[in-house]
Structure 1
């Protein structure tokens, strides 16, 4: 399991910050993606899409969204925090790559990020 669509460096950084080990995090990310994938169209209708490519769509969602997702995916609190952190780190890396770092950092102060894989969906 490679954790797609979350970039490998974002997974490593999220794992390094604690919560779960680096060997478990990709499996947790994939588990959450299995839950999110079928909901891509709903996310498109309900949330702000800040980036899209062939692999993923990146959304800004309301604060507290990850708590609900964690419950829906039956994640322990530390597991949820680690997966949420991986999604946020993905957005931060994207911000550096697209020269939108400040914009995304500001957004993360009041909202949360959800990355939904788009490969094979549609």
Structure 2
């Protein structure tokens, strides 16, 4: 378990800001990805795709979307918050590298992000 498709620096930053240890966060992300991966087509139909790579698709979703995900994956609140933060940090880091930081930050003021891995088993 390694936290794919969230990049390592985003995981470290999210773990530092959350009350979840850095050794646990990759496993939590993997647990959530096991739920999200099979729903990629559903996300493509329902949500705004803001970036796609060979490994993952990044979607903007409603602000309370993580509560809905939590109904299916059953995380403690602090674990859910840490995973959500990891997804948002991944989007921010991507925004920096693509020159879209301002666009993504503005989007995160009213929505949140979900990174759905393409290669999740």
Q: Same fold (TM over 0.5)?
A: yes
What residue ranges of structure 1 are gaps of 5+ in the alignment? none
Q: Secondary structure at the match of 1:82?
A: helix
Task: Provide closer, same or farther for how the CA distance between residues 120 and 33 of structure 1 changes in structure 2, counting only shifts above 3 A.
Answer: closer
Query: What CA deviation, in whole Å up to 9, does each residue of 1:57-102 have, x standing for no partner?
Result: 0000011001111221100000000000000000000000000000
Given that 1:57 and 1:117 are in contact with CA atoms closer than 8 Å, whether structure 2 keeps it comes out as yes
Please report the TM-score for the alignment, with normalisation by the length of structure 1.
Answer: 0.96
Q: Which residue number in structure 2 is paired with residue 87 of structure 1? A: 87
Q: Which residue number in structure 1 is paired with residue 57 of structure 2? A: 57
What residue ranges of structure 2 are gaps of 5+ in the alignment? none
Distance 2:35 2:68 in 1: 12
**Runs of 4 or more off by more than 6 Å in structure 1?**
none
Given that 1:54 and 1:119 are in contact with CA atoms closer than 8 Å, whether structure 2 keeps it comes out as no
- Number of aligned positions between the proteins: 121
Task: Provide closer, same or farther for how the CA distance between residues 39 and 109 of structure 1 changes in structure 2, counting only shifts above 3 A.
Answer: same
